[in-house]
Structure 1
Amino acid sequence: MSCSLREIDGSILEGGGQILRIALTLSVIKRIPIRIINIRAGRSKPGLMEQHLKGIELLRDLSNARIKGASLGSTEVEFWPDKVAGGNYEARVKTAGSISLLLQAALPCALFADSRVTLRLFGGTNAEMAPQIDYTTEVFRPILEKFGGSFDFDLIRRGYFPKGGGEVVINIEPIFKLDPVNMTKRGYITSVFGWSFVAGTLPIKLSHLMADSAVHTLKQFHSNIKIERYKEDRNMAPDNCSGVILVAETSTGCILGGSALGKRNESAEETGKRAAQELAKAIEEGACVDGHTQDQLIVFMALAQGRSSVKVGEITMHTKTAIFVAEKMTDVWATFEIVPEGSCNIIHCTAAK
């Protein structure tokens, strides 16, 4: 492990929690001590919020790290990781802070632990500005499996904005190395399916309205779209929420997703349409992954041994940020190149074996 601190400016590019997650994840896996400054400097409330703090504490526990400056509102953190150890770990966000974002930081680390890792995570399972947990399991996980990693998932309770209170248990078996991927041929759409749900006191009629709207928007891409419509059990999800998760599979094994949560002053039809338009955009781009997955793959591409190539649509700010941080944390060990191809781009990453 290096003895000198590597400094990351948390205000660059996307300038939010993503920089923190990626920098800390690579710090843990490569045992590189880091100092992150100007954390969330451009946000209306700069510094660490509770969900960021809980993420730092979770990675601290996973790697037996020493930390300095990790407190609510802090804009600078120092982090000295040690070896990632298997075992049982817990992170409890009291708000509806996203469980999926906690997992984004912890999952790559757990894959490189010395034995099985069990994570018990509390917070929001379906939240705005973050992947719904269903997207993480149904879209992201199958793509992760192309790299050779995976996880088992048990949903104990759903948690929605603003109360949170969700709980999931995730088991990860270590793999010690990731395989490079080549996802550059999209093929044709073979199936489109999804889930439309309501919870709490909301009537199941809304789930049908969302699903019917999504089907109407997507029917140009596939003739037989299957969307399950249901009301969550009150024991599993006592609070009010509604939403849609949509998935498209292709002949070459690509998986694209789209999702939306219901909003006040928005009709159920509009919610379903928003989710469908998100998926439609990914399909029309001709890319092999959607815009929400592309930035999540950067860490895995940097860690895979060899050359990975992934065809994406427009390069998102989150992806530009992920590449910047990954290259800064890995020096010449992993290098990225973006090559335009028609309306798409191919992200290449060459990582040392």
Structure 2
Amino acid sequence: MLELDGAAGGGQLLRSALTLAMCTGQAFHIRRIRSGRSKPGLMRQHLTAVDAAAAICSADVDGAAPGATALRFTPGTIRGGDYAFAIGTAGSTTLVLQTVLPALLCANTPSTIDLQGGTHNPLAPPAEFLRDAYLPLLQRMGADVELELQRPGFYPAGGGALRASIHPCPLQPLTLRERGALSGLQALAWTSGIAPSVGERELAIVQRRLGLDAADLQRRTVQPPSGPGNALLLFARHEAVCEVFCGFGARGVSAEAVAERTCEAVRDYLCGSAAVGACLADQLLLPLALAGGGTFTTARITDHLQSNARLIEKFLPVEIDWHESDGCWQVDVRR
């Protein structure tokens, strides 16, 4: 049984360990889960990820309780099928999906998974990030996955719904050193239970700062609202990759401030040469390792990426390293 220290990162280390345990059949014991967070231990979205992983591979689990800081997970055989999990809060459905998706690609039959909870959470990738940025790269690696955002759910009310359809297939290595030419920029403003003018003000800033045409601006309102919420999503589409940037409305923060910060993130990315941003870079490591190799470039090496890389190396016979190259960082995954 692998012994893991969860103090090196947040919930991501637990989710990665669950994924890798399912895919490799290796049991693990993790301690000090999220010990550096203001509320250490397992929260509801982490427990949902554990429950989902356990259901999909008939695992034996010890220690899965609210606030627990240690967990043992012994996986069984992965089984495809139809699954449904409700987080019950605004906890991230996308993070739960990312936990079980690689395992379901290894199943013996196709699967569907329905998730209820938060789809647009400031501490997790929004549904559009998975749909437009993450999954297209997995599809280039051979994955057959479709994702449907059935209903947005915002923090703190939740109430969102996602459905994924997954057909088993092996992943192939991916090389992504360059993003290619820019093919388009688009913006989408979601509002739920607040004045639609908030989204209009955000899009006005985006249009002025990034020079978008009116046809590239969308405003959508959740009806009926599941609680107050606002998210601004900016899509930077290139030949080889789409990056998605998200800003969230919050009490005391103006729509203009949300839009300005999100536009600045897009401009920083466009001014650089890296293929992927920090969030997508971190999330590519695990599928590349399961595929047996790959390469990509990113603007910086985050603590999340480093801790995730060291965890992956405990489960799989791969080496993950990085070096500076032409003004950015190249990350290599090798057997």
TM range (shorter): over 0.9
| Pairing of 1:1-353 with structure 2 (within 5 A) | 5-12=1-8, 15-175=9-169, 177-200=170-193, 202-219=194-211, 224=213, 226-235=215-224, 237-251=225-239, 253-305=240-292, 307-330=293-316, 333-351=317-335
Secondary structure, counterpart of 1:234 in structure 2? coil
TM-score of the aligned structures, taking structure 2 as reference length: 0.95
Secondary structure, counterpart of 1:295 in structure 2? helix
Aligned partners of 1:154 and 1:347: how far apart in 2? Answer: 31
Aligned partners of 2:28 and 2:216: how far apart in 1? Answer: 45
Aligned partners of 1:259 and 1:155: how far apart in 2? Answer: 16
Give unmatched runs, 5+ long, in structure 2: none
Aligned partners of 1:164 and 1:81: how far apart in 2? Answer: 30
The question of whether the paired residues in 2 share the 8 Å contact of 1:157 and 1:168 is answered with yes
The question of whether the paired residues in 1 share the 8 Å contact of 2:158 and 2:226 is answered with no
The question of whether the paired residues in 2 share the 8 Å contact of 1:192 and 1:249 is answered with yes
The question of whether the paired residues in 2 share the 8 Å contact of 1:198 and 1:242 is answered with yes
Task: List per-residue Cα deviations over 1:301-350 (Å, max 9, x = no partner).
Answer: 10113x311011111111111111111221xx111120211321111111
Aligned partners of 2:80 and 2:183: how far apart in 1? Answer: 39
Displacement of 1:178 in angstroms is: 0.6
Aligned partners of 2:229 and 2:185: how far apart in 1? Answer: 23
Moved more, 224-233 or 188-197: 224-233
Q: In structure 2, what residue type is equivalent to 1:266?
A: V
TM-score of the aligned structures, taking structure 1 as reference length: 0.91
Aligned partners of 1:191 and 1:167: how far apart in 2? Answer: 28
Q: Cα distance 1:187–1:134, how it changes in 2: closer, same or farther (>3 A)?
A: closer
Displacement of 1:294 in angstroms is: 0.6
Secondary structure, counterpart of 2:7 in structure 1? coil
Q: Cα distance 1:150–1:259, how it changes in 2: closer, same or farther (>3 A)?
A: farther
Aligned partners of 2:78 and 2:268: how far apart in 1? Answer: 39
Task: List per-residue Cα deviations over 1:69-116 (Å, max 9, x = no partner).
Answer: 111111111111011101112221111001111111111111111111
Displacement of 1:216 in angstroms is: 2.6
Q: In structure 1, what residue type is equivalent to 2:266?
A: L
Task: List per-residue Cα deviations over 1:126-149 (Å, max 9, x = no partner).
Answer: 111111112211222212212111
Aligned partners of 1:243 and 1:157: how far apart in 2? Answer: 14
Secondary structure, counterpart of 1:131 in structure 2? coil
The question of whether the paired residues in 2 share the 8 Å contact of 1:257 and 1:290 is answered with no
| Alignment coverage as a number of residue pairs | 335
Secondary structure, counterpart of 1:54 in structure 2? helix
Secondary structure, counterpart of 2:21 in structure 1? helix
Secondary structure, counterpart of 1:210 in structure 2? helix
Aligned partners of 2:207 and 2:219: how far apart in 1? Answer: 16
Aligned partners of 1:96 and 1:128: how far apart in 2? Answer: 10
The question of whether the paired residues in 2 share the 8 Å contact of 1:192 and 1:225 is answered with no
Q: In structure 1, what residue type is equivalent to 2:323?
A: V
